[in-house]
Amino acid sequence: MTAPSWQLWRDRRGRVSLLRIATLILLFLPVAKGLYDAGAIVHGARPLNDVIHRAGFWALVFLGVTLAVTPFRRIARYGGLIDVRRMLGVGAFCYIAAHLLLFVADQSYDLIKVAHEITHRVYLIIGGIAWLGLAVLAATSTDGMVRRLGALRWRRLHQLIYGIALLALIHYFQQTKADVTVPTFAAGLFGWLISYRLLAWWQDTNELSVLSLLGLSVAVSVLTFIGEAVGIGIAFHVSPLRVLETAFDFDVGIRPGWQVLAAGLAVVVLDIVRSRWSSREPRRRPVAAE
Ligand code: HEM
């Protein structure tokens, strides 16, 4: 029996799926948090702007989670995770649709003003292009569209996700006025996810070795440190080397480079644990990286 497509908690065979239920809960958590914070939001200086920020932030988070499915299901040896990738991607689009709708509401539903703003501010032009890209991917995410486009063309089209993620990160950096720690951490994580695919493609494998994962995590962490130092150096006219010297000064906070390294090492530990405990099938001849 196949379940009607609106019954999101059922898998393709129509069985109730705990993984799908957990994913739905995860996707609704930011809404629940927003409702919980409603009092503070309403009494804040700019309630609509607060909610715009929340929606944009969670869209980016779920975009990252969607991109993490492929590496994570391989590293955690949990192939079933692929079942919720589409749900996560469409969830990210719902948040981004809300992000734009709230922006329209913030402009008092004056669509001429909305169009003027979006076409006259660089960070909104970039966000707008990313928005359109996500809309195309969400619209082509149905089984019917996969059939119509053909698997290869569909896959090529959906590789746009990497460019969209890059534009979304630039938009995030541009609208952040002061502290870029969180955007830098996000950029490091996206960098890890994209580098994972590039390395898997380059090594022509579906499973990176522990050593490759370790090397990847250290390299991306170093690049995050360098990227942050160069960015701060340019923005505040200081030497990037002086910024790098503060990496071990934990009184001013833990730099995003360390956070990215911690996340990467957690993945390495997961890989070691899962390779020990799971009855892994013998390594198959890999197909190209997804
Ligand atoms: C037409 C499309 C878009 C518009 C009009 C738009 C508009 C905005 C506005 C007005 C802000 C707040 C800026 C401020 O307060 O100064 C913002 C922040 C943000 N937007 Fe967008 N955006 C668009 C697309 C996107 C896309 C596609 C993404 C990501 C997938 C995104 C992610 C974010 C993030 C992460 C923030 C910052 C949230 C935070 O502060 O935590 N936006 N956007």
Distance CA 171, CA 285 (A): 39
Tokens of 283: 């390594």
pLDDT tens readout for residues 178-223: 788 999 999 999 999 999 999 999 999 988 999 999 999 999 999 9
Q: Is the CB of 181 under 6 A from ligand 1?
A: no
Q: Is the CB of 173 under 6 A from ligand 1?
A: no
Task: Quote the ligand 1 centre to 248 CA distance (angstroms).
Answer: 32
pLDDT tens readout for residues 162-185: 999 999 999 999 998 778 899 999
What's the mean pLDDT when you consider all of the chain? 92
Tokens of 231: 């960015």
CB-based contacts of 289, cutoff 8 Å, min separation 6: 70, 197, 200, 201, 205, 206
Q: Is the CB of 49 under 6 A from ligand 1?
A: yes
pLDDT at 288: 45
Interaxial angle between packed helices 181-202 and 256-277, expressed in degrees from 0 to 180 and rounded to the nearest 10: 40
Pocket test for ligand 1, best of 52, 99, 126, 164 (most atoms within 8 A of CB): 99
Distance CA 24, CA 29 (A): 9
